Amino acid sequence: MSEYVSAAIGRTGNAAASTEQAQESAWIAASRQGDPQAFNRLVLKWEKAVFNLALRMLGDREEAAEAAQDIFLSAYRNIRTFRQDARFSTWLYRIAANRCISRIRRRPPGIHISLEDERAAALPVAQLAVPEPQDAELLRFEERQRVRRALSALPADQRAVVELKFFQDRTFEEIAAILETPLSTIKSRLYTGLELLKDRLGARD
């Protein structure tokens, strides 16, 4: 009996995914024809992922918000260049990663990264969660801060690969397509970046 239920759930999930993909394709087609409302729907779907990518790569909430606006503006201006036989997420992440890498490289040497309090951003989720001891919440907050500091110490290229692999859950092949970089180079950047992260996180601040 459970096998039939699992199969039914699987079919439902596949149908929902197909519907969502068809809907996105329709929005893209309309956006390519100059429909701003259709593009706004794409923004609503992807704005959280793009903002979070920018936040982790740039380490500053205000700059991440500014970068996200810049990313979507660039996407809107260039939507006609998007080939609809490719994945929209790959195209959008390419714009996002390149914009963030460019911002990082333009920074003066030794610039300090703002590591503002993340608890305000997490408030809606926290309100839905079961209350936990304050010290446990503080430990998680401190750990997030340490990860952010460690990420900010990585070179921009390595930071982009780590972000796409572990936070955006992209495959090596997808990352290579997003960054337009050979697969071997992507793997090398990831492994080197992970070693640097281990060293940074292994030493208490």
Please give the residue that has the higher pLDDT: either 3 or 125: 3
Is residue 57 within 8 A of residue 154, CB to CB? The reply is: no
- Tens digit of each residue's pLDDT (9 = 90 or more) over 119-171: 433 333 333 233 444 445 544 555 666 777 788 888 999 999 999 998 888 99
Where in the chain are the domains? 1-108, 122-205
- Tens digit of each residue's pLDDT (9 = 90 or more) over 80-102: 999 877 899 999 999 999 999 99
Q: How confident is the model at residue 147, as a pLDDT?
A: 72
Which residues have C-beta within 8 Å of that of residue 27, sequence separation ≥ 6? 38, 39, 41, 42
Q: Identify the residue whose tokens are 């914009």.
A: 99
Rounded mean pLDDT, 168-190: 94
pLDDT interval class at 78 (50, 70, 90): very high
pLDDT beyond 80 at 26? yes
DSSP code string of 155-178: -HHHHHHHIIIIIS---HHHHHHH
Is residue 189 within 8 A of residue 158, CB to CB? The reply is: yes
Q: How confident is the model at residue 108, as a pLDDT?
A: 79
The H or E element that residue 20 is part of is helix 2-32
CATH number for the region 122-205 comes to: 1.10.10.10
Distance of CA 13 to CAs 20, 168, 176, Å?
11, 21, 28
Q: How confident is the model at residue 59, as a pLDDT?
A: 87
pLDDT beyond 70 at 27? yes
pLDDT beyond 60 at 30? yes
pTM for this predicted structure: 0.73
CATH fold of 1-108, please?
Answer: Rna Polymerase Sigma Factor; Chain: A (1.10.1740)
Same fold, 1-108 and 122-205: no
